[in-house]
Amino acid sequence: MKNFIIGDIHGHYSELKELLNLLNPNFKNDKLIFLGDYIDRGPQSYDVLQLLINLQEKHGDDKVVLLRGNHEQMAMENIKTGYIDYFNGYDITFRDFKINKDSIENYYELFNRLPLIYEDKSFICVHGGIRPGVKMEDQYPSDLLWIREEFYESSKNFIKPIIFGHTPTLHINGTDIPFMAKDRIGIDTGIAYGGKLTALEIIDGIIKNIYQTGKLAA
C-alpha cells in the first residue's frame, strides 16, 4: 500500500489538482493523508475544501485522512467568538466563500472533527510537530498545531519519523524542498509564498518518491 502525505495547501486549488494527478492514487490500496491548513492565503479555499470533502465522502476517512491545521483551528475560534468577518485577517478566504454563496461558519463541525494526529506503524503525521520529551498521550493540542523550533531543532530522538507541515521549509533550510532529518520530515514547502505543493510517497515505512507541483523531485 502506498501512503501519500500532502503538505499545507492554503487555498491553492489548481496546484492541489495538479499534485493529485501526479499521485494518481488507487484507492483500493492507497491512502491520502493531508497535514492541514487547507484554507487562507491562497485564492480558492472554498474549492480546496469541496474537493477534499468530496474525496473523503467518496473513498472514506480510512483512505482520505484530513488532519486539522492551525488555520482550521483559528477559523473555528473566530466562528465561535463571532469575529468571522475578520477571519484571522485573511479576508480573501471570507470573500471566496461569499462569492460561492456559502459561509465558512458552515464548516465549524467539519473542522472540529478533524483529528490532530495520524499514527501509522512506521511514521506519525501531524500539522505542527511533537513536544520533545512528552509522551504522545500527553501532548498538548496547541503543540500539535503550533510548535516550531522547539520541535524541529530539538536534539532529542523520536520513536518514529514525524512528518509535519506548518513551518515553511524556507524558514528551516532556505529552500522549497522538504526538510529531511533522521526522524523529522517537513513538507510545507511554501506554496503560500510562491513555493511548491509537496507530497511524499511512503511504502512500508520507506520514502519512495517526493512529488512537487511542476516536477517530480525525487
| Average pLDDT along the chain, 218 residues, taken 10 residues at a time | 98 97 97 97 93 98 98 88 59 79 86 98 98 96 98 95 98 96 96 96 97 70
| H or E segment and range at residue 20 | helix 13-23
pLDDT of residue 85: 55
Query: Annotated active-site positions, please?
Result: 71
Burial of 5 (0-12, 13-18, 19+ CB in 10 A): buried
- 179-180, strands of its sheet edge to edge: 117-119, 124-126, 162-164, 184-186, 179-180
For the question of whether the overall pTM of this predicted structure is more than 0.75, the answer is: yes
pLDDT of residue 99: 82
Domains detected in the chain? 2-216 (3.60.21.10)
> Number of helices and strands (H, E) in the chain?
7, 11
Residue 147: CA count within 13 A, CB half-sphere: 20
